[in-house]
Amino acid sequence: MPRTVYCQYLKRDAEGLDRPPYPGELGERIHAHISKEAWQLWLRHQTMLMNEYRLSPIEPKARKFLVEEMEKFLFQGGSEKPSGYVAPES
C-alpha cells in the first residue's frame, strides 16, 4: 500500500516518495513532506534550469544553486524561471 503524505507543494494529501530522494536532512524533509507528483514537477523544473543556465551537476556552484532552487520550489512557493524563458510548444 502506498504511503500518503500531506504534500507541502500541492497543499493536499498525495502518494509519498518511497525513500528520500536527496541525502541528509533535506532529503528526509522532502521524504516526509513532498509527494511523488511534486517531486516529478521539481525534476522537470530542475532540467529546465540546467538546460537554460547550462549548468553542470559536477560543479559545486551549480549544485549549490540547484539545492537552493529545490528548497524554494518545494517549500517556499516556487522557483523562478530564467528571464526570457519561453516554454517549448507541446
Residue ranges making up the domain that contains 20: 4-75
Domain tally for the chain? 1
CATH number of the domain residue 43 falls in: 1.10.3880.10
pLDDT per position as a tens digit, 4-20: 999 999 999 999 999 99
In a domain, 48, yes or no: yes
Contacts 24+ apart (CB under 8 A), 23-30: 26/67, 26/70, 26/71, 29/75, 30/74
Give the mean pLDDT of the chain: 92
pTM of whole model > 0.85?
yes
In a domain, 22, yes or no: yes
pLDDT per position as a tens digit, 28-59: 999 999 999 999 999 999 999 999 999 998 99
74 close to 9: Cβ distance less than 8 angstroms: yes
Q: Report pLDDT for 90.
A: 58
